[in-house]
A = this chain, B = another copy of it.
Amino acid sequence: MRRASPSISDVARAAGVSIGTVSNVLNGTARVAPATREKVESAIAGLGFVRNGVARSLAAGRSSTLGFVIIDLSNSYFLDIARGAEAEAGGAGLNLLLANSDMSEAKQRTYVDLFVEERVAGILVAANHGSRQDLHRSGRGVPVVVVDAPGDHTDVCAVVPDNELGGYLAASHLISTGRRRLLFAGTTELVPVRDRLLGVERAVAEHPGVELEVEQTGNVQVEDGRRVGDDIVLRGPRERPDAVVAAADLLALGVLQSLLLSSSLRVPDDVAIIGYDDNRAAWDSAVPLSTIRQPGEEIGHEAVKLLLEELETGPDGHRHRLVTCEPRLVVRASTTG
């Protein structure tokens, strides 16, 4: 029969000291005599005492854990953000707990509320639901930082990737390796995709003689890419692009599969392909895909930094900011023969 977990006063009694002293050795706050410390420590070990974090944060009025509400954990990009956030938090002695909102706005709300109720030190939200104002208000005092969500930043701090730059990098790479007829594939209904296209257009504009064609896809999955690829295969050499900028790796993968199956076009000889995101799928494909790697970890780091900043300055004196992180070009076989 296992009794309820021992408390500090149990430890104090066993060690023959006061609870204040036990608390001191636990936290290293005040100076405590080596002999006393030892007594306390052996009492702790003997009783199998584990300090109660609940009582701890109630008494201290602060918590040492951060909450991260993630919209899509199956996307490795968000996991990278979580890794970065975890590392940065760890450096500040904070733990990071995750919650999977799984594309559901209701769940997102539920978990944000949960973290607020649990009075975590701060909340990260990887969201595309609700306005930032809503998120800020739902924080109700506990600082919130939004990650990877478009919008303004007057009410809440946010960290986003520079999608425009990513598009620019992708197109510039293709152009600098001699490509002149670019096809951008993706759906511009998605804001990030729209931004990527903007960057592609900027790169093209810088190079007279380079042409750009935009092919709208319903979504950015493999099957959408296959359709784009099938379309390209059917074209004559004159109407055919010599490079494809896909708005996402899965899309690029579909294009690649289609071209490879047709066996009439070679990658990258006839058509170069570059994706976006650096999914695992990108480096596992038959021809490894060049891509734009999202600055996931960096975003996580920056987001927690923002949180810590707000934690230090307090709600007043804190000015909400927007931090932008730069993606990076990753060159693989699909763009360089």
Contacts and interface: CB of A to CB of B under 8 A. Distances in A.
Contact of A117 (B50, B79, B284): B50
Nearest to A48: B140
Interface residues of A, number: 56
Interface stretch (A53-61, A181-189, A232-240): A53-61
Interface string A236-279: 00000000000000100100010011010000000000000000
Contacts of A82: 73, 100
Interface in A50-76: 50-58, 63, 65, 67, 73-74, 76
A100 B116 contact: no
A67 B316 CA distance: 34
Interface in A275-301: 280-281, 284-286
Contacts of A221: 284
Contacts of A280: 74, 281
Contact of A281 (B2, B48, B96, B281): B281
Contact of A50 (B67, B140, B257): B140
**How often does this chain occur in the complex, in copies?**
2
A198 to B, nearest CB: 28
A53 B284 contact: no
A102 interface: yes
Given A54-B57, A118-B53, A97 B99 contact: yes
A113 B48 CA distance: 13
Most buried by B among A117, A140, A261, A280: A117
Interface of A: 1-2, 4-5, 48, 50-58, 63, 65, 67, 73-74, 76, 79, 82-83, 86, 95-100, 102, 110-111, 113-114, 116-119, 140-141, 221-222, 250, 253, 257, 260-261, 263, 280-281, 284-286, 315-316
